[in-house]
């Protein structure tokens, strides 16, 4: 990590809605089977937000937990970054809504839209502000309520996605620890492979766009799959190379939770054992920008992360986007 200060993750927090939507439930809603879903994705169930729950509500719950674990008051935050493609509104930003609810009066606030890679874009951005000394504490939240924009008549997408929020407090850590390398990328030529066609300035809401179900997620699954396998590997290799770390020294890989087969391909490429990979997609499905921070928080709570561990976070998403970071774990503030 270049800059004046070493930067790392001081604490994490997560929240998932109470309602569970199982594969058996989906069998009653659309033409699919539990066996078909599990064999192709590894997903068995996912969480669904209540009708009255918006993304800022989930973000608030995850943020509270992260701040409490970091022993940092909301008023001490310098910035809030919320990564989401399902904001409460087009504007104001979900980050501003969260800032108000937390009472983080001095914090700047903005949203990041990088789909499933959003959390990685967020922590990379936060780290620069802290490394150069401009800010001390930044809260980054990945949150999605994808169930609000899923067509439950489309079996290719409705089986994949779920709702949740994961948060991280980013701050200074002792020298030699924290973020060691970042890699972010995008290929906008693949933008139409995964998108919400209507609701923006290209196709504002009309009766026609609603009738055509253009406000729901559309995805070219096979193309996204091929892209994901390729960039998961290349982004991981890049941060290892930048940090000068051999793959044998990876202690934990926290990948985006989209599809078990994508993760398995990366695991085999890097020769990792099961205990070095975090997988929770069987319980949550693909929560987009929330997937990585929720998985990271669960791994920490389960005692799978210890001081000095070399951890890689890697993801990919709509845009198309991808990203990875390597950090030497320490929650001890500098």
| Token pair listed for 109 | 């606030």
CATH number of the domain to which 203 belongs:
3.40.47.10
Query: What φ, ψ does residue 182 adopt, rounded to 5°?
Result: -130, 150
Range of the domain at 58: 1-334
Query: Where residue 179 falls among pLDDT bands split at 50, 70, 90?
Result: very high
Q: What is the mean pLDDT of residues 27-42?
A: 96
How far apart are alpha carbons 36 and 175 in whole angstroms? 49
Residue-level pLDDT at 3: 58
**Active-site annotation holds for 215:** no
DSSP H helices, 202-330, are 207-211, 221-243, 260-270, 281-284, 291-301
Q: Please report which confidence band the pLDDT of residue 144 belongs to, taking 50, 70 and 90 as the band edges.
A: very high
Per-residue pLDDT of 231-254, as tens digits, reads 999 999 999 999 999 999 999 999
> In the numeric block, which tokens belong to residue 45?
């169930």
Q: Does the annotation mark 96 as catalytic?
A: no
CA–CA dist 284, 281 (Å, integer): 5
Annotated active-site residue in 23, 259, 286, 310:
286
* Cα 320 to chain centroid, rounded: 15
DSSP line for 281-317? HHHH-B-GGGHHHHHHHHHHHTT---TT-EEEEEEEE
Per-residue model confidence as pLDDT tens digits over 64-123: 999 999 999 999 999 999 999 999 999 999 999 999 999 999 999 999 999 999 999 999
Q: What is the mean pLDDT of residues 118-130?
A: 98
Name the catalytic one among 116, 158, 259, 310.
116
The predicted pLDDT at position 154 comes to 95
Task: Evaluate if residue 221 carries a pLDDT over 90.
Answer: no
> Active site residue: 5, 158, 256, 259, which one?
256
Number of structural domains the chain divides into: 1
Question: Catalytic annotation on 256?
Answer: yes
């Amino acid at each position: 990590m270049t800059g004046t200060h070493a930067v790392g993750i001081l604490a994490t927090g997560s929240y998932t809605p109470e309602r569970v939507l199982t594969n058996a439930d989906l069998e009653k809603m659309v033409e699919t089977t539990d066996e078909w879903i599990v064999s192709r994705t590894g997903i068995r169930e996912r969480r669904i937000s209540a009708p009255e729950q918006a993304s800022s509500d989930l973000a608030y719950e995850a943020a509270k937990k992260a701040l409490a674990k970091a022993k940092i008051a909301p008023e001490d935050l310098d910035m809030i970054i919320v990564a989401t493609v399902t904001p409460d509104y087009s504007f104001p930003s979900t980050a501003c809504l969260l800032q108000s609810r937390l009472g983080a009066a001095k914090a700047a606030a903005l949203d990041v839209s990088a789909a499933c890679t959003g959390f990685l874009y967020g922590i990379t951005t936060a780290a620069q502000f802290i490394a150069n000394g401009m800010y001390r504490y930044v809260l980054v939240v990945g949150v999605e309520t994808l169930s609000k924009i899923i067509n439950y008549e489309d079996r290719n997408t409705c089986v994949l996605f779920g709702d949740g929020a994961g948060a991280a407090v980013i701050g200074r850590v002792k020298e030699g620890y924290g973020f060691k390398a970042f890699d972010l990328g995008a290929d906008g030529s693949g933008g139409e492979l995964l998108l919400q066609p209507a609701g923006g300035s290209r196709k504002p809401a009309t009766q026609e766009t609603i009738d055509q179900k253009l406000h729901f997620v559309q995805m070219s699954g096979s193309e996204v799959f091929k892209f994901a396998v390729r960039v998961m590997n290349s982004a991981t290799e890049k941060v290892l190379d930048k940090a000068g770390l051999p793959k044998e020294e990876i202690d934990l890989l926290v990948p985006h939770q989209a599809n078990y087969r994508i993760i398995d391909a990366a695991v085999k490429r890097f020769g990792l054992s099961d205990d070095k990979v975090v997988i929770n997609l069987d319980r949550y499905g693909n929560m987009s920008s929330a997937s990585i921070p929720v998985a990271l928080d669960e791994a920490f709570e389960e005692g799978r992360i210890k001081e000095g561990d070399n951890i890689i976070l890697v993801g990919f998403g709509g845009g198309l986007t991808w990203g990875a970071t390597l950090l030497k774990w320490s929650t001890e503030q500098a």
